[in-house]
Structure 1
Amino acid sequence: MRLKNKRHFIHDGKEPFWEAFEEFLIETFDDDPTIHKLVINGDGAAWITACREYFKDRAFFGLDRFHVEREIRNLFRNHPRYPPMIKALDAFDGQKLLTE
């Protein structure tokens, strides 16, 4: 899986991060904040979960796959069901992951 037309946002620190990011979305993707919803993935750090405060109901935050897998590994690495759990995660099979 690859992203199409991938863009990078670099914050220069002149204005609050989420304001600058929203401006980037509007300018780069013709984003309309009154219509479009955002899905923001990250590691759960305070600075990124702050998106919920800024965007309110216009955004959804979730742990990204790397950090989900890391947490599963930390919790279940020595459990006999760990390999099937990772296989289910890799297959995007949430139901199987939850039942393992």
Structure 2
Amino acid sequence: MKNTERIYQEIKRQLEVKAPKLTQDQKSRMYRILNSSNPNFESYGLKLSEIEKLIRDIEKEQDCTYDEAIEIFKILMKSNIHDEKFAGIFFLNRYFIIFSRR
């Protein structure tokens, strides 16, 4: 398995594991607030700070090049899942921070 695929699968798995169990009322309220025009839109219900922490932890564990980070970002941004899109933004942002310090 390619490194990008392995890291993507780890991000996806961690997001699913950390997702809170929401009632139907909580889900309907969340979807009303997010108000996506995409009929396939989903969300795990994670807070942005939780997603950012999860990405920070994964980035520290994984050895990933900047080009691989861009590829993972593209994969995550194609998702219909709100939390995966933000994970992609946070993941790529971690590499911008690392490379801007060099």
Range class of TM-score, shorter chain: 0.3 to 0.5
Question: TM (normalized to structure 1)?
Answer: 0.33
Largest Rg, 1 or 2 = 1
| Greater share of residues in strand | 1
| Greater share of residues in helix | 2
Structure with greater contact order relative to length (CA < 8 Å, sep ≥ 6): 2
Question: TM (normalized to structure 2)?
Answer: 0.33
